[in-house]
Structure 1
């Protein structure tokens, strides 16, 4: 009850005290309106039937009472200095003579759902002792004693049960348990004596019946009110009650729940009419059900390893969590899906905000793809006859394009043509039932692919597809390199993706066959991501002879030559990559075709000592071959060091530099909230490129016509500052070029070596010095575009006449 209390210190006799104790308290009056009627904190505990805790209110008055600015709050039985009140905000109103049910936290036990509540919170109350307050504001209380709470005018009613320090009257209500609540003994009677007013017994929550706040009537908010016109829900963190919608799709694996959509949209194109309802267990609703959902509106950020909500660059998904669902009807028609195509999907993937957070701007559907998809988040969408631009992975994730004529590669992918120019038609598709269509680039999902618009940390917006189009397999043929003329030296690069002896024999066999058949047995192969003999086991092993023995044996078994190798073991756990794997670059070479020029004393520690360019009889040479380039330079911290080797072919010296530059790990998400995304790794790659450029320049200073081939996984694009630094010594490319990046000599629609989340792009390169004029060059597509891969990179090969 609403009350004001005052304590006055006076001197009175013992007989007077006795007389006063015999009388009812001055505050012992029956409430005229809303009281706490029942409290239960054992929900979901062992032995409980109900899955959730709850608080039930009752209106003893004759008129409705608005609860729009009220809350229920909870504090533990013996609050300490740092203990705070937990708050669940209320909405709607409570009709006279009616109850109002507040659902609270669920536990792992229990078999029965609460009846449909009027409000939902996430307070995990004690099953035996604690204090619940009904408060006429939504500000957390600060009182920690019974006297201080009694003096707080915002406290409408208060119940302490068990051994709670804070309670009304001279005693607590009885202790509750996992199977017992405490409830008023007689229809809402309130004497401000918790010990007398409440008894313990079976929990008896009544379904919400407050009118605008619960029951089977829609609450005050629609889905578009919850989604709002911004990137984060305007009611994020607040309880929402009886939100109406039609169930459009179910998610029965992973983060379980369902999507629902309002069939009566508002007129604002920025506000979505769909939302995901998180149920934690398999949803019990069916597609086509008309439902009312109560729960907590929340912005869910999918987090990568090490991320927090504060640090993630991912966008959020608006959800209704800790949900309770009331079915109104079934078999309803579903809202028509939005058909996505070049006609309605914007041309710009993401706006340039100078790195700022897009969440600080309004959702503007016409501005970018990110805006547009946020404006229809959770709604039914459709793509028709969608061509695959990113192959299925092990998790059943694949990418299609809704713009079949946009940035098309010669094999059917969607190509990255410039920095921050993600193809706007690219969109992820995941079957809602977890099935995997096993599609490759160029295949088509014929007919309609239909589902809810969702968001993933791995690829931005996606269709969680209830219906996946029929697979049309277009049998994309692997590329086979031209045969190598006897007078040409062929040099290849191949990232073999964390190759370890423990990998299945089938991987070694496929890599071997690819080098023999598809790469046409190059004379020299730079192999990246060769792991040590114990693979990812972090046991101090750094040698990789077992890995290389298996690889070279697989090549020979496929009909190739018996390759020899040269490499330098890294210092343990200093070169990045998979922890414990000690990945490195390795030269494989065919000793029947080419000679490796070994220089330098065997006693030199080549892991830490860099090779130097020296002049021998006016010709460039290496002080250490094989050698590393400036391995102590900080630009190589936690990254692979370039391996340089001097080869002799038909009497000519050729210098080959094998690379694996710093990866893009830690860069912000191209599909995320910071646009354009920061690339924190780019600075290190540019530094690495500059060091290598300067080394190449030293070779050319001795002989400007020296034959230098730079190969490997450079983890950056042909138009990036790093590649500009490698070619010209300047990040903007204004310096004189000493190397030609061969990928840039291909037709535009062939300039890619990798498929990252449906985007065909360049990570692997072969560059040659300007003195090399007579050459032929191919990217050999055998992996990146296929659902069945031996590696995630495609190799490439150049044939030169030294």
Structure 2
């Protein structure tokens, strides 16, 4: 499968300030925030300015910098103090510590120069100190001024009290650590500077710091500045503009950096969850059929979000900015947000289908939307971590381009474009990472419940308006406030159909074969191996192996039991007679017999059924050197009542082409005792897409890394299959497994060009979901003669489309326990089931004869129908002719059952005898034999 981190996390975050959690007055009521640092107003050293864009294209200066300010009347020596930096999402010790030297003059500044991204921008004034390792992120981070030169030991996040050694703290942008409320992140040309350094530190980053032009000042620049002559002309009046003028007609506002006044009706508010703001839309807008600019804008204000309500008509004076592509308005002060009296027309949700281009979406940015048309779930991966769901406009999920189009083709480019045009995220109105801090893990996930699954391919039906929003590099539908389990009945904007199937579709045939990747089923648990590290649940208990050892599965016996229970349910529900397994432990790598894990799984399958239904195919005597094998392997299990192996299994000992993959395993099978039904099955697990260099480097054509290896493996597999076909004297060959190649990629083409037919292509379903698109990495290929035996195909979608929250490996990650012992999310791949009608030796020999004889002038005619049981089991035989039916319920192997019909004078007309043979399992087959008249 494609390599992917089991613990993804990829969004930027904004910190949740104290102001967002308390009721604040709308107009000019001052904030009453509890202090969190040891810097009382006007009598201690503070951080006065932060510039985090040094050297970037368009930046004002070539280096980052931190400026300190001394508001006292005496010089402050810096020996023993340090500046420390931690990333926006960090929770451990700061990653950068800069011990300070020198002093800050009374009423003066100190300039600490940091790292540079390049050569753009002017040179800084001669800095008082330089630290090339000080590399603050522009989007967000936290700076600590510390009494000490050792890194702080995991300072707390949020607005929590900091250690006494912290003299001052600035959290900006997406930082998770701040004083009361986070400061706004700057643009390329802006800095974060104290609004009035002479008034001291209020311990509210959002209030103390404002965006402005960079003004780096050094100790050499002197102390308090000389008084300046008041301007002779009044400052320019703040212009009043419509929201659509703020938005403009392009992808960024034409008014970035300017202070403006506008009005609008509140349509959505996010006082919790991290957005720290609300949306206003020009009164009465939204119902227009055509537009050139959006009439809505996001207001970033943790200070006022708690005091506004949906429906309020507001006048706001604020600074226009672009935050990661979203146009925002940040009020200049608490008094800059005014509730207007009198009625205002409500905003009208725009009834639109999601536009296909960014330009078309821009003119609806932040507006209230009533989504029209069909939407389909296409991605559930981020639901477990960020509470978001990937949707595709239309009735189908997005397709992995190389599933349906050849690499490099015009058709592939068309699929890529269509995916981009149809993709939209349904978010939860929050920036929380539910896999992050312990407090977040204690919040139940939105949307998903243990009884209401959300699955790839399921229709999404909207019943409430949403806001069209742009964050984290993509467009999203946001509910009008943070969605929680508690408010879902009033807030959740969409519902989802439950598309689960309790069992695969019927595929027909005498027997079925299946392929199933069991996602690192290891009976050697991580806790038994020194050096293993683990992914842990919300209590810190290990769940599954992360790294540090060769084990890849469960952390301990309890976790293994949970993993095994789901796999057992899935396999026992397949209805297959032969199952190929991929990604099962190679126990020889852990000092055990090679089949130990396979035997354990087989025993668990039988225990669940209460009888010895399954058996496993033993490893062959001839095996590659253990050093040439992987810690995972392939295997076969089969149902003993229907199937038996013929001879020993065979491993392809090819250490060249399969040096980085699992070697194919072949076994000949047949229906019990019937040589006419013999066939060869070969299970495979090709190299994954996640790594490779040289010829195996990702070529950028959609096939991922290591494609050259997979092509070589496909070529070697075809040769191996040809050899076995000749050795076993059969034309019935099936290639099964996880090929780590989508249906139009080069390795699959090698196999199909050799004459094999991809059975998975027949059911229109897909076995894998990755990066928001579906495709099939798992295949069953049949030789032409084998293809003629196929009666049906089903890809049973129990895994790939389900949320990863249901996996055993995510047990107790969230306040809601999603785990159960069902088949759903027993793996990340879906099993593929293929029905076969194999050639058979007839279970009975039929003999029908008619005779005529004369006895004492009478003509006797006799119809004799005889059936001999050629099979291995005692059967019931019913013989039917036009003269009636007779049954013998217990005909042992080798015994015959004969029915004679004698007529006197009347002729026996030509006809057909029907012989029905019923096996002990209740399966009945009927054979017919014509006979002549007499």
Scaled by the length of structure 2, the TM-score of the pair is 0.49
Task: Give the secondary structure class of the aligned counterpart of 1:526.
Answer: strand
SS at match of 2:751: helix
Kept after mapping to 1: 8 A contact 2:758/2:779? yes
Instruction: Extract unaligned runs of 5+ from structure 2.
Output: 1-34, 51-59, 68-110, 113-126, 139-168, 199-211, 406-411, 431-444, 481-490, 524-553, 693-698, 804-823, 840-934
Secondary structure in 2 matching 1:448: coil
Tell me, yes or no, if structure 1 residue 345 matches structure 2 residue 361.
no
Once the two structures are superposed, the pairs formed by residues 97-246 of structure 1 within 5 Å of their partners are: 106=172, 108=177, 110-111=179-180, 121-122=191-192, 160=218, 164=219, 166-168=220-222, 173=223, 183-184=224-225, 187-188=227-228, 211-212=235-236, 217=238, 229=250, 241=259
Alignment-derived partner of residue 740 in structure 1:
757
Aligned residue number for residue 18 of structure 1: none
The reply on whether 1:439 has 2:454 as its aligned counterpart is: yes
Distance across 2 between alignment mates of 1:726 and 1:527: 20
Partner Cα distance (2:243, 2:592) in 1: 60
CA distance in 1, matches of 2:629, 2:346: 54
**SS, match of residue 721 in structure 2:** helix
Q: Describe the SS at the equivalent of 1:557.
A: helix
Secondary structure at the residue paired with 2:736?
A: strand
Quote the residue 1:499 is aligned against.
521
**Distance of aligned partners of 1:512 and 1:380 in 2 relative to their CA distance in 1, 3 Å threshold:** same
Matches within 5 A, 1:8-23: none
User: RMSD between aligned alpha carbons?
Assistant: 5.8
Partners of 1:225 and 1:690 in 2: how far apart? 60
Partner of 2:880: none
User: Deviation at 1:726?
Assistant: 1.8
Candidates 574, 579, 584, aligned match of 1:525: 579
Q: TM-score, normalised by structure 1?
A: 0.56
Residue 513 of structure 1 pairs with residue 529 of structure 2: no
Change (3 A) 1:335 1:596: same
Question: Take 1:400 and 1:86, find their aligned partners in 2: how far apart are those partners?
Answer: 35
Distance 1:586 1:112, change over 3 A: closer
1:584 equivalent in alignment to 2:633: yes
Pick closer, same or farther for the CA change 1:627–1:476 going to 2, 3 Å. Answer: closer
- Tell me the alpha carbon deviations over residues 303-350 of structure 1, each in whole angstroms, 9 at most, x when there is no partner: xxxxxxxxxxxxxx4466999765523487775444342xx634xxxx
Q: Give the Cα separation in 1 of the matches to 2:717 and 2:61.
A: 66
2:760·2:832 contact (CA, 8 Å) conserved in 1?
no
Match of 2:746 in 1: 721
Partner-residue secondary structure (3-state), 1:771? helix
2-structure distance, mates of 1:700, 1:333: 77
Equivalent runs, 1:352-371 vs 2, <5 Å: 365=357
Candidates 365, 369, 394, aligned match of 1:381: 369
Distance 1:539 1:323 in 2: 63
1:691 to 709, 716, 719: 716
Question: For 1:282 and 1:686, how far apart are their aligned partners in 2?
Answer: 60
| Aligned counterparts of 1:325 and 1:542: Cα–Cα separation in 2 | 72
For 1:485-496, what aligned pairs fall within 5 Å after superposition? 488-496=510-518
Q: Per the alignment, in what secondary structure is the counterpart of residue 431 of structure 1?
A: coil
Tell me if the contact between 2:467 and 2:479 (Cα under 8 Å) persists in the aligned partners.
yes
* Compared CA separation, residues 83 and 646, structure 1 to 2 (3 A): closer
Partner of 2:828 in structure 1? 792
Matching of residues 568-647 of structure 1 within 5 Å:
582-596=631-645, 599=648, 625-628=649-652, 630-633=654-657, 637=660, 639-647=661-669
Alignment partner of 1:752 is 2:766? yes
The verdict on how the C-alpha distance between 1:84 and 1:786 changes in structure 2, with shifts beyond 3 A counting, is closer
Q: Deviations over 1:442-487 (max 9, x none)?
A: 4543523513333557xx54323334335364564334343865xx
Shift in Å at residue 710 of structure 1? 0.8
Distance 1:78 1:291, change over 3 A: same
Pick aligned residue for 1:777 from 788, 792, 797:
792
Question: CA separation in 1, counterparts of 2:831 and 2:669?
Answer: 21
Q: 1:523 to 1:504 in 2, by over 3 A?
A: same
Tell me the secondary structure at the aligned position of residue 502 of structure 2: coil
> Bigger radius of gyration, 1 or 2?
2
SS at match of 2:454: coil
| 1:553 equivalenced with 2:604 (yes/no) | yes
**2:389 corresponds to 1:398:** yes
Q: 1:471 aligns with which of 479, 490, 495?
A: 495
Separation of aligned partners in 1, 2:137 and 2:228: 23
The 1-side partners of 2:268 and 2:593 are apart by 50
Provide closer, same or farther for how the CA distance between residues 109 and 711 of structure 1 changes in structure 2, counting only shifts above 3 A: closer
Question: What does 1:396-435 align with in structure 2 at a 5 Å threshold?
Answer: 396-404=387-395, 418=405, 419=412, 421=415, 422=418, 425-432=422-429, 435=446
Q: Alpha carbons of 1:322 and 1:713: their partners in 2 closer, same or farther (altered >3 Å)?
A: farther
Distance 1:712 1:752 in 2: 14
Residue of 111, 119, 128 corresponding to 1:78: 128
Deviations 1:226-252 (A, max 9, x none): 78735x8899xx856558575654556
Q: Distance in 2 between matches of 1:222 and 1:645?
A: 70
- Superimposed CA distance per residue, residues 631-658 of structure 1 (whole angstroms, 9 cap, x where no aligned partner): 432x653x44433334455335532222
CA contact (8 A) 1:741 1:765 kept: yes
Alpha-carbon distance, 1:397 to partner: 3.4
Q: Distance in 2 between matches of 1:712 and 1:574?
A: 20
Mapped to 1, the partners of 2:136 and 2:756 lie a distance apart of 65
In the alignment, the residues of structure 2 paired with residue 532 and residue 159 of structure 1 have an alpha-carbon distance, to the nearest angstrom, of 65
Distance apart, 1:524 and its partner CA: 1.7
Matching residue within 669, 681, 685 for 1:656: 681
- Partner residue, 2:282: 263
Structure 1 residue 711 displacement after superposition = 1.0
Specify whether residues 261 and 510 from structure 1 end up closer, same or farther in structure 2 by C-alpha distance, changes over 3 A only.
same
How far the C-alpha of 1:528 sits from its partner, in A, is 2.2
Assess, with a 3 A threshold, how the Cα gap between structure 1 residues 86 and 500 changes in structure 2: closer, same or farther.
closer
CA distance in 2, matches of 1:541, 1:330: 74
Q: Structure 2 vs 1, CA of residues 87 and 785 (structure 1 numbering), >3 Å: closer, same or farther?
A: closer
Q: Deviations over 1:13-47 (max 9, x none)?
A: xxxxxxxxxxxxxxxxxxxxxxxxxxxxxx98543
- Is residue 664–residue 679 contact of structure 1 (8 Å, CA) maintained in 2? yes
Deviations 1:132-178 (A, max 9, x none): xxxxxx999xxxxxxxxxxxxxxxx9854xxx2x225xxxx2xxxxx
Change (3 A) 1:83 1:709: closer
Query: 2:402 and 2:327 mapped to 1: Cα distance?
Result: 33
> Which deviates further from its counterpart, 70-79 or 384-393?
70-79
Q: Is the 8 A contact 2:247 2:253 kept in 1?
A: yes
SS in 1 for 2:469: strand
Distance in 2 between residues matched to 1:784 and 1:115, nearest whole Å: 40
Task: Report the Cα distance in structure 2 between the residues aligned to 1:110 and 1:481, rounded to whole angstroms.
Answer: 58
User: Which residue of structure 2 lines up, in the alignment, with residue 152 of structure 1?
Assistant: none
1:271 Cα deviation from its structure 2 partner: 6.5
Provide the aligned length of Structure 1 versus Structure 2: 564
Taking a change above 3 Å as real, the CA distance of residues 471 and 574 of structure 1, as seen in their structure-2 partners, is farther
